Structure 1
Amino acid sequence: MTTMYATIGPATRAPETMTALVRLGVTGFRFSASKFGVAELAAQAADAEAAGRAAGRSVELLLDLPGAKIRFTNADSIDLGATPRFRVSYALKPTGEDDGLPDVGLSDPGLGDVISPGDVLLIGDGEIAARVISASGTHCVAEALEGGLLGPRKGVWVTGRSRRLPASSPDEDLALLDGLTSSAFTGAIVSFAENAAVLEPVRARWGGRSANSVMAKVETRAGVAAVAEVAGAADSVLVGRGDLLMDSGVLDFHALCSAAVRECRRLSVPVVVGTQLLSGMQSSWLPLRSELSYLCGLLESGVDGLLLTTETTFGRDPLGAAGLMADLIARYAEPGLVRA
C-alpha cells in the first residue's frame, strides 16, 4: 500500500485541517525543524496526534532535522517583487546597515568565501533566483531575477560552486531531539544522509519510538551513490527531490532519483518520494500534466510513500491536493479501491 505524508505549515497548522487531512488518507505528517522552535514543534506534534485520534487513525509524526543545509536566517518573509534587491550578510545576524535594503544572515557565514559578483543564488528549491551585483568581505547585494516571496529560513545555493561546506557537527540536531524527548513525535528524518554513520546517534536517541523511527533523506549525489549503505541503516528512505535537483543539475536529476528508488526497492527498504509532486496546485485548480504523468508512474511502479511539501505548507488548497493524491493512489497503486 502506498502511504501519503503531508508537511505541516501555515496552510495546515489548524488542528481541524490536520484532522481533515487524516480523513482524506494522510498517514503521516512531516514537521520542519528548521522553521519552528522546540515549543511550537511539540505543540504541532501534539495537535497532529490528537487529529489522528479524532479521525480514528494512528499517524506517523516525523521531525525533519535541519542537518548541514546552509540557509538564510530571516524570520519573516520578504516580498522580492516590491523590493527585488536585498543584502546577504556573512553572519548569523544581519549587519543592520541603514540603506533601505532588506537584510538576511547566513546559517554558515563561510559561504560568503565563494560568492562573487555575477554569481546566481538559487533559493529554496530553486523557485527564486537572484544575481549577485556586488560583494565584499562582509556581505553581498543580490537582485531577484523575478519577483517572489522569500520565505523564512530558506536554503541557498551558489550555482556552479560547492553549495555545502563540510558537514556540520550533529550536536544541534541531537540537542533538538533531546529537547523533544517527551513529545509526540514517532520518528526523525535525517537530512543529507550520505553514510550510515550519520544515522547512528539519531537511532541511539529515538530508535525505539516506532517501527519507522529513523528515515534517511537522500538528497545529494553522494547520498544516491551510498544509498545501499544508507538504506541498510535506516527504517525507510526519503528521496528529497528539492535539494537533489540543486546538487545534481537538471540533466542527471531523473537518473539519480530513479537509481535511489530502484536500489531501495531491490533492498526491500520502504522508499518515499517527495517535493513538488503536485506543485501546480499551489496556484491553479489543476496540477501540471507532467506532474500527473510522473506521479502516476511512481504509483504504478509500487513506490511505498509520497510526501506533499509546499502543496500543504503554503498551497492555496492543501485539502484539494491531498484529496487528489488519495484518488491517484486508489486509482494507480491500488486498482479497484475508491476513497469514501
Structure 2
Amino acid sequence: MCRTKIIASLGPSSSTLDTILNLCREGVVGFRINFAHGDESVWGPTVDNILKVEGLIGRPLALIGDLRGPSIRLGDLDQQLLLKKGETAKLILSGKGSAEKREVPLPVKEVYDKLEVGDTILMSDGRVRLKVTDVFRDYIEVTALTDAAISSRKALVVANKEFNLPLLQEKDLADLNFALRRNFNYIGLSYVRRGLDVKIVKDIIRRSGNDKVKIIAKIETKSAVENLDEIIEASDAVLVARGDLGMNFGLEEIPYLQKKIIRRSLELGKPVIVATQLLESMIENPVPTRAEVVDVSTAVSEGVDALMLTGETAVGRYPVEAVRWLRRVVETTEEKLSISKFRDVNGLNARFAKGVTELAEDINAKLVVFSMFGNTARMISLLRPTVDFYVGTPDIHIARSLVILWGVRIYQVDASDYDEGLEKTYELLKSRDEIRLGDLVILAYGLKDYEQTIKLRRVS
C-alpha cells in the first residue's frame, strides 16, 4: 500500500457501487463529495455505496464533505455558451440565462457592486478569461480574452479582488447538517480567509454534539496565504487547492506556494493534502502526460499526506485508470526517492512519538500502536517513519479519520483498555501475516503526559 494516500472525488463518472469498489481496489482510502454540486438527495445514495464498499473490502474509508462556502458561482445556463476570443457577452443578475442571447447568469449582487471596467474574470482554473468592458446596475458586459466554453454553476474569481461574502450560506448549513448526520469524518472549508473562519465552523460542529468531525482548511486565496499560520493552527488538516490558487496568483508562483504550504503545515504538525490538476489530461485520455507524472512525484517527495483527484475521477472518462496511474507514480517515487521529513518536535508526547519512531528505525522493527483517540498515531505519522506502521483503534470514526494520514495502516479493534487493544492489534496483524516469525516489533501507546508504554518483542 502507498504511504502517501489517495483520495478520489466522486461525481457522475464514479458514484456507482462497482466504480467505488474498483477505485478502492486500486488504492483509494477516502472519498470527497463536492457539495457545490447536488444536495442530500443526490449524495445520500453515494454515501450508502461508500459504506457498502467499506464492508465489502473490510477496511475503513474516509468521508470528506467539501462545502461550497463563499464562492461566486454562475447560475443555470440553458446550454453551454461558446465564445470566440474577442466576442462579447453579458453577465446578468439572475439565476437563469440564455446561451443564444449570450446572457450568463451571475446571481451574486456583491459582484456587481465591486466590479470595475478593466477587471479580469477567471473561470475553469483560469482557462476562461473575460475582461469587464462595462458595468451596469443589473448586468455586466464582458469580452472574451480567450476562446471560452461557459457552462452552468461554474465558480469564478476576479483577479486581484476578494469579496466579503458570508462564510457559510443557507446551502452550506444544510450540507453541513447532512454531513454531520451521516458521520462524515472531515469537512472541507472553502475560501478560508483567517483562522477565525475555521473556529466558527468548529464551534457549529461542537454545538451539534459531534466533536469527532475534523476541519480541512483549503488554502486558495491571497488572504489565506497571508494568514497561513493562524489558519493551519486552527485547522485539523490543510489542503493545497491549486486550482483557485492559480487564479489568485500567477501560475509561476504555484510551485513555491505549494512547497511553502506543505512545509509550514508539517512544521506546525498538521496533515496536508494536494489537489487539482494532478492528472488533468486523464479526464479525456487514458494515460497521463510526462509533466503530470513529474508533478505528482514532486508532491510525494515533498512529504504530503495525501493526493486528491478531482475532475479526473468525478467527471473524467477514465476514473479507475487515473487512480491506477497515480498509485504507480506514488509507489515508484516512494521506492526510489527520499521523502521530506520534519522532526523538530516539542512537548513530551511528541518527543515520545519521535523516540519510538527512531528506535523502530534504528533496529528495523515494525511499529504497532493502539490509539483510542488517534493522537499518538497522528504524531508518529507526521514524523514519516521509514518502517511499517500499524494502528489499532476501537472507534470506526477515528479509524476513518486516520486512514488518510501518511503511512498509517489502520485496523478497527474492539477493546476496553489500551493493554487489551495493543495485544489484540498484535494478534490481528499476526493472523493477517503482516508481522511474521522472527520480526522485531515495537508496541506502544500513550495515555497522557508522563504515562506512555512501549514494548519490544520478537515474533515467535
Please say whether Structure 1 and Structure 2 have the same fold, judged by a TM-score greater than 0.5: yes
8 A contact 1:29–1:62 mirrored in 2? yes
Secondary structure of 1:251's partner?
A: helix
Name the residue aligned to 1:170: 168
Q: How many residues align?
A: 332
User: Could you tell me how far apart the structure 1 residues matched to 2:251 and 2:204 are?
Assistant: 37
Secondary structure of 1:12's partner?
A: coil
* Alignment map for 1:142-157 (pairs within 5 Å): 142-147=142-147, 149-157=149-157
Secondary structure of 1:11's partner?
A: coil
8 A contact 2:39–2:175 mirrored in 1? no
User: What letter corresponds to residue 73 of structure 2 in structure 1?
Assistant: R
Whether 1:88 and 2:91 are equivalent positions in the alignment is yes
Name the residue aligned to 1:78: 80
User: Could you tell me how far apart the structure 2 residues matched to 1:106 and 1:191 are?
Assistant: 19
Name the residue aligned to 1:243: 244
User: Could you tell me how far apart the structure 1 residues matched to 2:243 and 2:155 are?
Assistant: 10
Distance 1:131 1:194, change over 3 A: closer
Name the residue aligned to 2:110: 110
Of 36, 61, 69 in structure 2, the residue corresponding to residue 59 of structure 1 is: 61
Secondary structure of 1:168's partner?
A: coil
User: What letter corresponds to residue 91 of structure 2 in structure 1?
Assistant: V
Name the residue aligned to 1:32: 34
8 A contact 1:90–1:111 mirrored in 2? no
Secondary structure of 1:265's partner?
A: helix
8 A contact 2:69–2:168 mirrored in 1? yes
8 A contact 1:74–1:105 mirrored in 2? yes
User: What letter corresponds to residue 22 of structure 1 in structure 2?
Assistant: C
Distance 1:76 1:45, change over 3 A: farther
Whether 1:316 and 2:314 are equivalent positions in the alignment is no
User: Could you tell me how far apart the structure 2 residues matched to 1:222 and 1:23 are?
Assistant: 39
User: Could you tell me how far apart the structure 2 residues matched to 1:193 and 1:135 are?
Assistant: 28
Q: Indicate the larger mover: 237-246 or 137-146.
A: 137-146
User: Could you tell me how far apart the structure 2 residues matched to 1:154 and 1:80 are?
Assistant: 14
Residue ranges of structure 2 left out of the alignment (5+ in a row):
338-387, 389-460
User: What letter corresponds to residue 277 of structure 1 in structure 2?
Assistant: L
Q: Indicate the larger mover: 171-180 or 228-237.
A: 171-180
Name the residue aligned to 1:282: 283
Distance 1:212 1:99, change over 3 A: closer
Name the residue aligned to 1:269: 270
8 A contact 1:126–1:246 mirrored in 2? yes
Name the residue aligned to 1:136: 136
> How big is each residue's C-alpha offset from its partner over 1:16-44, in whole Å with a ceiling of 9 and x where there is no partner?
11111111111111111111123212332
> How big is each residue's C-alpha offset from its partner over 1:221-262, in whole Å with a ceiling of 9 and x where there is no partner?
221232222222222111101111111222333222221111
Larger Rg: 2
Kindly indicate which of the two structures has a greater share of residues assigned to strand: 2
Name the residue aligned to 2:124: 124
Q: Indicate the larger mover: 182-191 or 110-119.
A: 110-119
User: Could you tell me how far apart the structure 2 residues matched to 1:32 and 1:125 are?
Assistant: 16
User: Could you tell me how far apart the structure 2 residues matched to 1:265 and 1:29 are?
Assistant: 22
Q: CA deviation at 1:139?
A: 1.1
Name the residue aligned to 1:187: 186
User: What letter corresponds to residue 274 of structure 1 in structure 2?
Assistant: A
8 A contact 1:78–1:102 mirrored in 2? no
Q: CA deviation at 1:171?
A: 4.7
User: What letter corresponds to residue 17 of structure 2 in structure 1?
Assistant: P
8 A contact 2:282–2:317 mirrored in 1? yes
8 A contact 2:70–2:169 mirrored in 1? no
User: What letter corresponds to residue 258 of structure 1 in structure 2?
Assistant: K
8 A contact 1:211–1:235 mirrored in 2? no
User: Could you tell me how far apart the structure 2 residues matched to 1:51 and 1:107 are?
Assistant: 39
Q: CA deviation at 1:306?
A: 0.5
8 A contact 1:46–1:184 mirrored in 2? no
Could you say which structure has the greater relative contact order, defined with CA pairs below 8 angstroms and 6 or more residues apart? 1
8 A contact 1:90–1:105 mirrored in 2? yes
User: Could you tell me how far apart the structure 2 residues matched to 1:321 and 1:77 are?
Assistant: 29
8 A contact 2:283–2:315 mirrored in 1? yes
Distance 1:116 1:170, change over 3 A: closer
> How big is each residue's C-alpha offset from its partner over 1:45-104, in whole Å with a ceiling of 9 and x where there is no partner?
22222222223322111110111111112276514269x76432124x24x6x8932533
RMSD between aligned alpha carbons?
A: 2.9
8 A contact 1:132–1:141 mirrored in 2? yes
8 A contact 1:217–1:240 mirrored in 2? yes
8 A contact 1:187–1:206 mirrored in 2? no
Q: Indicate the larger mover: 314-323 or 117-126.
A: 117-126
TM-score, structure 1 normalization: 0.86
8 A contact 1:42–1:184 mirrored in 2? no
Of 37, 42, 45 in structure 2, the residue corresponding to residue 43 of structure 1 is: 45
Name the residue aligned to 2:4: 2
Secondary structure of 2:125's partner?
A: coil
TM-score, structure 2 normalization: 0.65
Q: CA deviation at 1:202?
A: 2.6
- Percent identity between the two aligned chains: 27
Secondary structure of 1:253's partner?
A: helix
Name the residue aligned to 1:20: 22
8 A contact 1:187–1:210 mirrored in 2? no
User: Could you tell me how far apart the structure 2 residues matched to 1:263 and 1:153 are?
Assistant: 33
User: Could you tell me how far apart the structure 1 residues matched to 2:275 and 2:149 are?
Assistant: 22
Distance 1:51 1:176, change over 3 A: same
